[in-house]
Amino acid sequence: MLVQGPGALAEAVRAQGGLLVDRGPLDAVVLDTSGCDSVAALRVLYDALHPAVRLLGAGGRVLLLAAGVPPSPQAAACARAVEGFTRSLAKELGRRGATANCLYLEPGAALDAPLAFFCSERSAYVCGQALHWQAASATARPARRISVVTGAAGGIGAATVRRLAAEGDCVLCVDVPQADAALRALAAETSGEALPLDLTAPGAPAQLAQAVQRAGGADVLVHNAGITRDRSLGRMSAQEWDQVLDLNLRAILAIDAALDAAGALNAAAREICLASISGIAGNAGQANYAASKAGLVGYVAARGQQLAARGSTVNAVAPGFIETAMTHAIPFMVRTVGRRLNSLRQGGRPADVAEAIAFLARPEARGCNGQVLRVCGQSWLGA
């Protein structure tokens, strides 16, 4: 790892194990630009990274640290310039499987968790993104963490269950009764519990809240269940509109209200909602889906402020094209084009999204709240 830059944060990165080296191939390059407060100072982007990107190995990582609380308009301009630079560099690096991301750091923010994520294979499908990291002390990890994952029977949900179980979590796996066999097999495999439940059924939020309470309250809650009913608005039936909004947005708000009322979310809980790049960029034929997923983006921003007082956080993960049953249902040609419309020129795997969820679920991730992390290979949709 090559660590450079004029800001004080570079020191912290070096303390995390970053070394100064002068030859490649490099696995990761971290550049601290937080001290940049003039256009002249921005020259560090060229001076440091012009030689460094040539030494970056295939699948390498570039992480740019920017000032999260710029002390002046000039510093704010520099910080945003760094974000724009990152997005462009990411588009150049993607064809080598390498990524670049930007982390806005508040003074005093702990670096270890985001550094470990962005500089490792865990962020393989996170490219060209900017995340804000606040100064907030990490919360303690419960001795036995209880996690809840909805839509757990397949795709991203099942990968998330396996990823959280690998960390030692006891996972309550929720999915429709029709998926009972797969759900029970997954729960048995991961030493978790299965809860067959249609989340749109009347009384489902209360039922889920009771099950969570019985399990000891939720430390991690992943709202993953979601559906598509794609059609252009003029041809869309009212039922197709209702079904998507009902599960993807209304049910999530109702479940959270039920969990809050029952006190079933433990202190320092980590909540993650599965949004979508469609909800950020819009997508023809997905007006219902995009509205539901954009709703979640607004929801986590507002709910994050409410949860912060308890040491809890809520964030959204917005996948791009991920290889699951949902995307396999897309017609072949559209699917083939869709999976290549990003800087990495390939689709992501459910495990890539699960890694981002596991990252935001960490006790050390308290500094990230109310935000959206795209796992999309820097999709050209809304990039």
Residues acting as catalytic residues: 289
Establish if 243 lies at the interface with ligand NAD (CB under 6 A): no
Binding-residue pattern over the window 22 to 61 for ligand NAD, x denoting contact by CB under 6 A = ----------------------------------------
The least CB distance from residue 159 to ligand NAD, in Å, is 8
Tokens encoding 263: 């006190």
When asked if residue 333 is in the footprint of ligand NAD (CB under 6 A), the reply is no
Residues present in the chain in total: 383
Does 155 help bind ligand NAD (rule: CB under 6 A)?
A: yes
d(CA 140, CA 148): 19
Q: How far is the CB of 327 from ligand NAD (least distance, A)?
A: 4
Contact 168, 141 (CB under 8 A): no
* Nearest partner of 110 among 129, 133, 130, judged by Cα: 133
Q: How many residues interact with ligand NAD (rule CB under 6 A)? A: 27
| Closest-CA residue to 69 (of 145, 114, 7, 15) | 7
Out of 198, 230, 242, 260, point to the residue binding ligand NAD (CB under 6 A).
Answer: 198
Task: Determine which residue in the list 258, 321, 343, 359 makes contact with ligand NAD, applying CB under 6 A.
Answer: 321
379 binding ligand NAD? (CB under 6 A): no
- Nearer to ligand NAD among residue 60 and residue 151 (C-beta): 151
By CB under 6 A, residue 322 contacts ligand NAD = yes
The answer to whether 303 and 364 have CB atoms below 8 angstroms apart is no
Question: For residues 74 and 346, which CB has a smaller minimum distance to ligand NAD in the complex?
Answer: 346
**Residue ranges with strand state E in the chain:** 2-4, 26-32, 56-67, 99-105, 130-133, 146-150, 170-175, 193-196, 218-223, 265-274, 313-319, 372-375
**Rule CB under 6 A: is residue 295 a binding residue for ligand NAD?**
no
Residue owning tokens 């797969």:
182
5 in contact with ligand NAD (CB under 6 A): no
Calculate the CA dihedral of residues 230, 347, 91, 354 and round it to 10 degrees: 100
Residue 6 DSSP symbol? S
Per CB under 6 A, 226 contacts ligand NAD: yes
Binding site for ligand NAD (CB under 6 A): 150-151, 153-157, 175-176, 179, 198-200, 224-227, 247, 274, 276, 319, 321-322, 324-327
